[in-house]
Structure 1
Amino acid sequence: MSSSQEPAAELGILRSRPETIAKPSSSPLGSRPLDLSATRDGALYIPNRQDATKPAPLIVALHGAGGVASQLIDLLVGPADAHGIIILAPESRSSTWDVIRGGYGPDVLFIDRALQKVFDLHVINPQRIAVAGFSDGASYALSIGLINGSLFGNIVAFSPGFMAPTQQSDTPRIFISHGVTDEVLPIDRCSRRLVPNLKKAGYDVDYQEFEGGHVVPADIVERAIRRFLG
């Protein structure tokens, strides 16, 4: 990334956008590394049912604290194959996402690089791009999703703790789920505070509570995907 992009990154702003004309990809199906970093990198998953000649939906999937790309791909792989969704799962530059450690910057730049690689290689439907995450990744998805609403039409936050947008762009639809017995990020001080604020701000929010802890049930994943595609 050029130095001219760094001020935008410090505000959490992503610059990459889908190519208006992209060549059909000949990339192999399944999961493969991004090959953008020698240490913490990430992965790209190409679904088994993808038609490379048609614009595909894309989910940018963000792991929780201490996590890796495969955790989010494993969570989303079933719906991705069923609906032909490409999954981009970048890894944070440190143990968790930059804003949680003090401010936007390194992770925004890395996600931008990863997005640009996907947009260069694959035909992506600009109306079907979502950012999703679990735990710290959900907090980050909410934050950069609200900042970059012109890119992300949908935000999916599984058990978020907070949100920290530097600005708000457009009105992405939002899906939030949380377990009522979550002891890691207790629901009363997290989603039950976030959701009313988002609704008050005018966002279209689908909020689902479930019996359970700091997990993502399969039926919750399926509901989130249906909302994304519907």
Structure 2
Amino acid sequence: MVTERDRYSTGRLTARPVNTSGKAEFTTGVQRLGLDSKKDGLFYVPKRYSNSQPAALAVMLHGAGAPAEQGLSLLQRYADEKNIILIAPASRSYSWDIIASDAFGPDVIFIDQALEFVFGNFAIDPAHVAIGGFSDGASYGLCLGLTNGDLFTHIMAFSPGFVYTLEKNGKPNVYISHGVHDTVLPIDPCARRVVPQLQRQGLEVNYTEFEGGHEIPSNIAESAAEWFIGSDTVSQQAKP
């Protein structure tokens, strides 16, 4: 008998942006996903969101042992200006499943449920759907982003440690940043190994090294947000 976990064992997501007009009623700001009574996640609806204009969407993943709020904080300061809806799930264990248990499973299921909820309630621009995160969240964002590159158009990985996939689909654009003095996930065996690996696969990688440690300087986060939306910004399209 094939279980739900079996269906997600390669990291494949099934949710897709099918709602072009959004629900009639919505609330802006930070809200709980309402998918788990013990370990839930958050989502953020920007002030500029309108059902008549599809928003960008970014799934942002926290580092090991951190709360969902960390994932939300990665891009929240840019969400209103650039009309980005954010999803910040909490990992089922201390870190993401492929890291905590060496297998895809419960976190893929939870993220798929979160995506299905947002896709079903908000108008999302399918040309601007991203996944990313910090530290372990960056690694997991790369894993799911490459596995589901036919859904995610962009991946934003801040200080990742590795990338692992059982299958690859599509060719998402990738943004990676890493501090040259990172002592938690040193840059040489991490980003400097991952970036050439992705480039050999024919992926376009925007790679930035900075003077710093295991962190995300504000200019790096802003650069990633600008890169994700691009010059033809969703926020500009939404202006009357």
Instruction: Give the TM-score normalised by structure 1.
Output: 0.96
How many residue pairs get aligned? The number is 228
Q: C-alpha deviations, 1:146-196, integer Å up to 9, x for none? A: 000000000000000001111111110000000000000000110000001
- Mapped to 2, the partners of 1:21 and 1:74 lie a distance apart of 27
The structural deviation recorded for 1:4 is 6.2
- Mapped to 2, the partners of 1:108 and 1:149 lie a distance apart of 15
Alignment partner of 1:51 is 2:47: no
- Mapped to 1, the partners of 2:121 and 2:206 lie a distance apart of 32
CA contact (8 A) 2:21 2:54 kept: no
Aligned to 2:211: 211
The structural deviation recorded for 1:227 is 1.2
* Residue type at the aligned position of 1:82: E
The structural deviation recorded for 1:6 is 3.3
Secondary structure of 1:28's counterpart equals: coil
Query: Where do 5+ consecutive residues of structure 1 fail to align?
Result: none
Aligned to 2:62: 63
Which of structure 1's runs of 4+ aligned residues deviate more than 6 A? none
- Mapped to 1, the partners of 2:52 and 2:29 lie a distance apart of 17
CA contact (8 A) 1:58 1:130 kept: yes
Greater alpha carbon shift after TM alignment, 178-187 vs 23-32: 23-32
Alignment partner of 1:78 is 2:103: no
Q: C-alpha deviations, 1:73-108, integer Å up to 9, x for none? A: 222111111101000111111110000022000000
For 1:27-176, what aligned pairs fall within 5 Å after superposition? Answer: 27-101=26-100, 102-176=102-176
Q: C-alpha deviations, 1:175-227, integer Å up to 9, x for none? A: 00000000000001100000011111110000000000000011111111111
Secondary structure of 1:188's counterpart equals: coil
CA contact (8 A) 1:8 1:14 kept: no
Q: C-alpha deviations, 1:112-138, integer Å up to 9, x for none? A: 011000011101111110001100000
Q: C-alpha deviations, 1:39-66, integer Å up to 9, x for none? A: 1111010111222321110000100001
Aligned to 1:10: 9
Greater alpha carbon shift after TM alignment, 98-107 vs 18-27: 18-27
Instruction: Give the TM-score normalised by structure 2.
Output: 0.92
- Mapped to 2, the partners of 1:162 and 1:178 lie a distance apart of 12
- Mapped to 1, the partners of 2:211 and 2:115 lie a distance apart of 35
Query: Where do 5+ consecutive residues of structure 2 fail to align?
Result: 231-240
- Mapped to 2, the partners of 1:229 and 1:195 lie a distance apart of 21
RMSD: 1.2
